[in-house]
Amino acid sequence: MSNQPSMAEYVESAQAILCELLRLLEFNDATLESSVEDGQIFFQIVTAEAGRLIGRTSQTLDAIQFLLNRLLSRQYEVSPYCVVDAEQYRARRREKLLADTAAALERVRLNGRPWRMQPLNAMERRLIHQALRDCPDVRTHSEDEDSDGRKRVVISLVETPAEPEPEEMADAQPAEENPRTPETPESI
């Protein structure tokens, strides 16, 4: 415990690995900015090749982040988690997913049927589970993998056995006096 490295040392080690990865990936113009927040290290990469750096559905950015964390954890017994970002992709993606989740939540509350989100990776699914954790009227779970190994979050209403299921809900008027949503928080 007494010999635990300082945060500055972790940042320096992580930055050295990331710089080397970027060099080997031939992002010759890349520059780095680092920050520390809530015990995590954030790297913002600036390059003219941001499209190639992020990759399709951020797979390249995620691969860099995954390997950076693997390599850093080989150097220390415990190490802080690193987040790698470019062009604020992570923040924009987060906003998009939260907006999709809010829309899906509204939909589930209106028509009562479970809603399957688009296939998402583990970090993204976690964001949705966390966002809906405080909504008592719905529950979320992750479906088993499909044939492509992708998983989806399913949002469904919490069963209320006392309420008999109305026959034709499809044409029922929305929101107002919906018996299964006693409280309708506007935000998630």
Partner 1 sequence: MKELVEYVVRQLIDHPDELRLTEIEGARTVVYELRCHPEDVGKVIGKNGKTVGALRTLLSSVASKQNRRAMLEIVE
Residue 83 found at the interface with partner 1 (CB under 8 A): no
34, 44, 60, 156: residue in contact with partner 1 (rule CB under 8 A): 60
Query: In angstroms, what is the minimal distance from the CB of 51 to partner 1?
Result: 11
Chain center to CA of 76: 26
Distances from the Cα of 82 to the Cα of 31, 72, 158, angstroms: 17, 9, 36
Residues in binding contact with partner 1, number by CB under 8 A: 18
Pairing of strands 115-116, 31-37: unpaired
Residue 12 found at the interface with partner 1 (CB under 8 A): no
The packing angle between helices 89-111 and 122-131, to 10°, is: 50
Partners of 40 in the β-ladder: 37
Burial 152-171 (b: 16+ CB within 10 A, else e): bbbbebeeeeeeeeeeeeee
SS3 42: strand
Which CB sits closer to partner 1, 118 or 121?
A: 121
Q: Which range in 19-27, 98-106, 108-116, 172-180 contacts partner 1 by CB under 8 A? A: 19-27
Residue 70 found at the interface with partner 1 (CB under 8 A): yes
74, 77, 147, 167: residue in contact with partner 1 (rule CB under 8 A): 74
Residue 126 found at the interface with partner 1 (CB under 8 A): no
C-alpha span between 26 and 95 (Å, rounded): 30
Residue 62 found at the interface with partner 1 (CB under 8 A): yes
Which CB sits closer to partner 1, 23 or 107?
A: 23
Residues that bind partner 1 (CB under 8 A): 20-21, 24-26, 52-53, 55, 59-60, 62-64, 66-67, 70-71, 74
